[in-house]
Chains A and B, each alone.
Chain A
């Protein structure tokens, strides 16, 4: 029984991290209909930023997790930079195919640049503990504070984000742009600025995801973003890509599937299972759990 609870907790923990990452994916996809392959690598950027800033924060006598502020700033900058330098020019004169290839190229560029810079370098770095040890006990199994926080933060961020897109002007602008770019322009919305803002927010979110990830898996390495990003993408698709409330259920399902597969089948099959979910979803209901099917107008 305790294995089950343990697996469940791990699943929820992983799931919330995936949900946080998926939120960023889904926001960006919703607005420019492009899978930002580099999104997973923004997490890596956030992780390394914190590796370097945590010692400074600690030296100033502040709690370690405040370094996430730096991470959010850096990630947002990197995200906006990617959109301005790489995606926008290609979107203007390219096709969907070239945009996709650009996204892949950016992802590889970020990963390998990080590897090539000696200060960051190819070897993993370990962060010091971010949140205090210990946690709550459930049926004899300890649920660490970090896990609790991850789940809570994940849910909170999602709620805030959802309210943001529903209630605020900027949020509504984002939704308009994702529905119909031209109509949005006609309504006086600055589409380009809205897109950049979306990237900023989405990438900032990946910094928070990095924080929660590091709190439980303190090892940071340059290729950590790839698999994380890929699985979070599956989560986003599962929940309904472009739909913010979908990121949470999607993420949790993927996290649980991965956790239970690792526990009860084998760890090497976990990734395969996650991918199989993607294949099944895309073939059966590509719009995802919360999505609606919109065909192409002929």
Chain B
């Protein structure tokens, strides 16, 4: 039974997604007034949205191109600050009156797009050393780039305090043109979901095309890829830039959800969720080479992070164990170690979820598991 990848599948997906979206909007209309939704669920959904885009974007480089890039925080930061400052500029220039006007939506869209583009341009720069370097060295260089980018932002006067002309360097940005409050977060939730969907779709289209095949070939054997006529330099740099674009978009979504921006949030490995390592954990957990996995892992890690920070059950733990949860990075490091050592493929391996193939995939999975079990039994009786 061949796996269907045709237009029929796309049609099914589009219909289901449209229905789900409308259902969600209807539900939100009903639930949106409740405090629980406003205060807890909406912010959580926002966070899930940008984490999903973040994880999927890194997977392009890490899972599909096969390069370890540890500087993702830099692109996020660029995206966040660009979106925040651009919208601030629009606000100060009086381009819109309040957040409910249709002009604002246009501006919002524009800011996010530009945030992504700027991040992509920087991604190009980072991709160029990637042409000459492999594995370990590339990882360190990207780490360095991430550090340098954030350091530069920190030293820019218009990125701190009140921002732009009224700004000063080395300070958190308190005036954010986006930074939605609790009610705005609810009203614009559809936007976050839509952007996430669009990003995921774009990345999926990229993977299921000659581009995806080319970079997977480069990942598997770069010399053979060259020998097959693939311009490895082009595809490497392009993928870095494309991945950076989405990281920038994710950063912009973050700027929407947070009124204050601080460069200390973007690092290689601080205790928060915007650091390069957290993204790596998400990608590895979900499966390097599966966008579905990245999405799932993002939600899982969000949940883990949420429980660590806010879980009421943490207070019930013995003090020694509790101190572990005071350092979320420790938990993430442990998760990473466990996944890498016991299931390096991650949850989904290279599997991509597909509605139209769902029943077939489930059946195949069961047959394969049963086959493996029988094989093991057979080996044991023969041995």
Q: Which residues of A contact B (CB under 8 A)?
A: 34-35, 86, 89-90, 93-94, 96-98, 100-102, 104-106, 108-109, 111-113, 115-118, 230, 233, 237, 268, 271-272, 275, 278-279, 282-283, 286, 296, 298
Choose one: A100, A113, A118, A282; the contact of B330 (CB below 8 Å). Answer: A113
Using a CB-CB cutoff of 8 Å, which residues 245-278 of chain B contact chain A? Answer: 269, 277
Query: Bound state CA distance, A86 and B139, in angstroms?
Result: 19
Q: B315-341 vs A: 1/0 string, CB under 8 Å?
A: 000000001101101101110110011
Contacts A94-B344, A97-B68, A101-B68; is A275 near B329 (CB within 8 Å)? Answer: no
Q: In the complex, are the beta carbons of B337 and A279 less than 8 A apart?
A: no
Q: Counting CB contacts under 8 A, is B144 at the interface?
A: yes
Residue of A nearest to B334 (CB): A109
Residue of A nearest to B136 (CB): A35
Query: Bound state CA distance, A89 and B344, in angstroms?
Result: 12
Choose one: A34, A90, A113, A298; the contact of B340 (CB below 8 Å). Answer: A90
Contact residues in B for A100 (Cβ distance below 8 Å) = 68, 135-136, 139
Q: In the complex, are the beta carbons of A104 and B341 less than 8 A apart?
A: no
Residue of B nearest to A34 (CB): B136
Q: In the complex, are the beta carbons of B136 and A102 less than 8 A apart?
A: no
Q: In the complex, are the beta carbons of B135 and A112 less than 8 A apart?
A: no
Stretch at the interface among B103-111, B147-155, B366-374: B147-155
Using a CB-CB cutoff of 8 Å, which residues 132-182 of chain B contact chain A? Answer: 132-133, 135-137, 139-141, 143-144, 147-148, 151, 155
Residue of A nearest to B141 (CB): A279
Choose one: B147, B327, B337, B344; the contact of A106 (CB below 8 Å). Answer: B337
Q: In the complex, are the beta carbons of B336 and A278 less than 8 A apart?
A: no
Q: In the complex, are the beta carbons of A101 and B280 less than 8 A apart?
A: yes
9 chain-A/chain-B pairs, Cβ below 8 angstroms: A101-B336, A108-B277, A112-B330, A113-B330, A230-B144, A282-B137, A282-B141, A283-B132, A296-B223
Chain B interface residue count, CB cutoff 8 Å, equals 38
Chain A nearest CB, measured from B17 CB (Å): 33
Choose one: A101, A230, A298; the contact of B140 (CB below 8 Å). Answer: A230
Residue of B nearest to A117 (CB): B323
Contacts A98-B340, A101-B68; is A108 near B329 (CB within 8 Å)? Answer: yes
Query: Bound state CA distance, A86 and B341, in angstroms?
Result: 8
Query: Bound state CA distance, A23 and B269, in angstroms?
Result: 25
Residues of B contacting A: mostly: helix
Contact residues in B for A35 (Cβ distance below 8 Å) = 136, 139-140
Query: Bound state CA distance, A298 and B344, in angstroms?
Result: 28
Q: Counting CB contacts under 8 A, is B129 at the interface?
A: yes
Contact residues in B for A282 (Cβ distance below 8 Å) = 129, 132-133, 137, 141
Choose one: A93, A97, A108; the contact of B333 (CB below 8 Å). Answer: A108
Q: In the complex, are the beta carbons of B135 and A96 less than 8 A apart?
A: yes
Q: In the complex, are the beta carbons of A116 and B140 less than 8 A apart?
A: no
Chain B nearest CB, measured from A111 CB (Å): 8
Residue of A nearest to B337 (CB): A105
Q: Counting CB contacts under 8 A, is B43 at the interface?
A: no
Query: Bound state CA distance, A48 and B70, in angstroms?
Result: 28
Contact residues in A for B336 (Cβ distance below 8 Å) = 101, 104-105, 108
Chain A nearest CB, measured from B128 CB (Å): 9
Query: Bound state CA distance, A117 and B334, in angstroms?
Result: 15
Query: Bound state CA distance, A118 and B320, in angstroms?
Result: 8
Q: In the complex, are the beta carbons of B330 and A102 less than 8 A apart?
A: no
Choose one: B129, B151, B223; the contact of A268 (CB below 8 Å). Answer: B151
Contacts A268-B151, A298-B223; is A116 near B324 (CB within 8 Å)? Answer: yes
Query: Bound state CA distance, A90 and B342, in angstroms?
Result: 9
Q: In the complex, are the beta carbons of B147 and A271 less than 8 A apart?
A: yes
Query: Bound state CA distance, A34 and B137, in angstroms?
Result: 10
Residue of B nearest to A102 (CB): B340
Residue of B nearest to A233 (CB): B140
Q: In the complex, are the beta carbons of B137 and A237 less than 8 A apart?
A: yes
Query: Bound state CA distance, A86 and B339, in angstroms?
Result: 12
Query: Bound state CA distance, A164 and B357, in angstroms?
Result: 61
Query: Bound state CA distance, A271 and B341, in angstroms?
Result: 33
Residue of A nearest to B319 (CB): A118
Q: Supply 16 further A-B pairs (C-beta < 8 A) apart from A105-B340, A279-B129.
A: A35-B136, A86-B337, A96-B136, A97-B135, A100-B135, A100-B139, A101-B336, A108-B277, A108-B333, A109-B334, A230-B140, A230-B143, A275-B144, A278-B140, A278-B141, A286-B137
Contact residues in B for A86 (Cβ distance below 8 Å) = 337, 341
